[in-house]
Amino acid sequence: MGRDAMHTGNQTYQSGFAMRSICSLIIATRIVTSPASLYCQAVPKVLSMITPDYPEGINEGGFVICEVFLLSDGKIGIATAIKGDSRFQGAAERALSSWLFEPSRGNPLRRVLVSFAFYPTTFSGLRNKVVAELIGDRGLPIRIGPRLVSPLAKSVGTAAAIVCEVHDVRLKVDIVGLGYGLVLPCPAFERAKDNLFPHSNRYVMGGCVVQPENAAEVLYCPKCRQAAARWLKAHPMQE
């Protein structure tokens, strides 16, 4: 696993939230495997949507699953939270009331499930937008929300207090792409990184288990990134 993934996210929170998300999908799968007559066979396309506002005074994360009945013109008939943290349910229901799906094509009753994942404020103060997913007729989530950022741990401290040991430059906070899978590092690149640009941190590898996050906060040194770019230009195909 490449060490460019020098990410120190709050693993305790993420593990707990991942477990709750898994449980929610298990529950949702049981729901959507009910008789097919209760569901449209294909998940309808979302034409217009807003994500819920993050409730004031809440700094933790959570999830909500809502059951939605659609009118023939694609507007919401009824949206009811059926699972999840009660502190977020009202916000989820209010947001769904403004959604618009594609009009019906002969289905007398259309019933879909929508899940919302609420994540807390990130290290740099970026408020994550709530991630929305449609749960398909096989219980599989369909992402329709925005980019979700995996935050740095609060224990890292302020970036201004951390200095690159190679360039004597204070580290900054950036948001970079977050990938998943088994990546074998290039030995030459890893050696150069250790000695020349230890805080380039141009991307993050999140491991083999895919999580909802697709971006991550990192601490980086601007001069390390410049040094990494020069090294890669001189050593193509070596990353």
Kindly report, residue by residue over 164-193, the tens digit of the pLDDT: 999 999 998 888 888 877 777 789 999 999
- Which residues are 111's β-sheet partners? 69
Q: Is the pTM of this model over 0.85?
A: no
Q: Residue 24: how many CA atoms within 13 Å on its side-chain side?
A: 25
Place of tokens 């007729």: 137
Which domain-ending residue is among 119, 147, 175?
147
Is residue 3 assigned to a domain?
no
Residue 78 CA to residue 97 CA, distance in Å, equals 8
Per-residue pLDDT, averaged over 82-110, amounts to: 88
Task: Determine the pLDDT at residue 93.
Answer: 96
Same domain, residue pair 39 and 92 = yes
Give residue 199's pLDDT. Answer: 93
Structure token pair of residue 202: 């141009």
Structure confidence at residue 122 as a pLDDT band (50, 70, 90): low
Last residue of a domain, one of 111, 130, 147: 147
Here the contacts of 80-89 (C-beta below 8 Å, separation 24 or greater) are: 82/31, 83/24, 83/27, 83/28, 84/24, 84/116, 85/118, 87/55, 87/58, 87/62, 88/52, 88/55, 88/58, 88/62, 88/63, 88/64, 88/116, 88/118, 89/64
Quick one: 171 and 207 in the same domain?
yes
**5 found inside a domain:** no
- Mean pLDDT over each residue of the chain, to the nearest integer: 74
Maximum C-alpha span of the chain: 67
What domain range is 195 assigned to? 154-234
Nearest to 6 by CA among 219, 155, 181: 219
Q: Pick the closest to residue 122 from 177, 59, 210 (CA basis).
A: 59
Number of domains in the chain: 2
Domain match, 88 and 170 both: no
Cα torsion at 180, 185, 186, 189 (round to 10°)?
A: 90
Q: Identify the residue with better confidence: 105 or 141.
A: 105
Q: Partners of 179 in the beta sheet?
A: 205
